[in-house]
Chains A and B, each alone.
Chain A
Amino acid sequence: DIQMTQSPSSLSASVGDRVTITCRASQDISKNLAWVQKKPGKAPKSLIYAASTLQSGVPSKFSGSGSGTDFTLTISSLQPEDFATYYCQQHNTYPRTFGGGTKVEIK
């Protein structure tokens, strides 16, 4: 199985900050990487697929990059509604696997 490792596991940031989260795959997954936002008590929300393609309706403050084994999610200007846990997921092979998550908290 492909292991997905996210860093950091948590971070504190202020409104307006630029935030970057990294995700590393244990083997080459090309660009087959998605990012998902999860808030407590809410349904997950898909943000990005194929490493850099925004899901419909997702604001452009979210961006993704990378290929192979190393990927990043960037939030250009953090807003109150962006405080959440973010997960990467590889969609290259089965079983699909998620990273452990990065919790973005208010500083």
Chain B
Amino acid sequence: EVQLVESGGGLVQPGGSLRLSCAASGFSFSIYWMSWVRQAPGKGLEWVATIKPDGSEKYYVDSVKGRFTISRDNAMNSLSLQMNSLRAEDTAIYYCARDGRFVVTPSCWGQGTLVTVSS
């Protein structure tokens, strides 16, 4: 069974940093594209970032470029999102998602972790 378990969310002040992690199990992690998608309170879904299976390609939404970094450790079956210079508008539930092997869009999702940016 595919499992994606996010951790690392919490309350952080504006300008602060947070690192989200996603522990993957039940599939061959190293051959799948992986993504982060977020949902702000009362808002719709927003794609944040995607990483290629070998980590050689990374894509970001403009609003987080230069502040967020997506990475992965295929030996540990783990996906991460380093978030720096956090802003109030980054407040959201962050979902880890497994994309397809060849069609790069989410097929499985974690339960999410809440990030709140507030003073």
Q: Which of B8-16, B17-25, B109-117 forms contacts with chain A?
A: B109-117
Chain A contact patch, size range: 20 to 34
Beta-carbon contact of B59 and A46 below 8 Å:
no
| Of A49, A94, A96, most B-chain CB atoms within 10 Å | A96
| Of A1, A36, A101, most B-chain CB atoms within 10 Å | A36
Beta-carbon contact of A45 and B104 below 8 Å:
no
| CA A91 to CA B35, docked complex, whole Å | 12
Please classify the interface of chain A as helix (H, G, I), strand (E, B), loop, or mixed, using the class held by over half of its residues. loop
Please classify the interface of chain B as helix (H, G, I), strand (E, B), loop, or mixed, using the class held by over half of its residues. strand
Which B residues contact A (CB, under 8 angstroms)? 35, 37, 39, 44-47, 50, 59-62, 95, 97, 100, 103-112
Further contacts, 17 of them, CB under 8 A, given A44-B109, A46-B108, A94-B59 = A36-B45, A38-B45, A43-B110, A44-B97, A46-B106, A49-B103, A50-B103, A87-B44, A89-B45, A89-B105, A91-B103, A91-B104, A95-B47, A95-B61, A96-B35, A97-B47, A100-B44
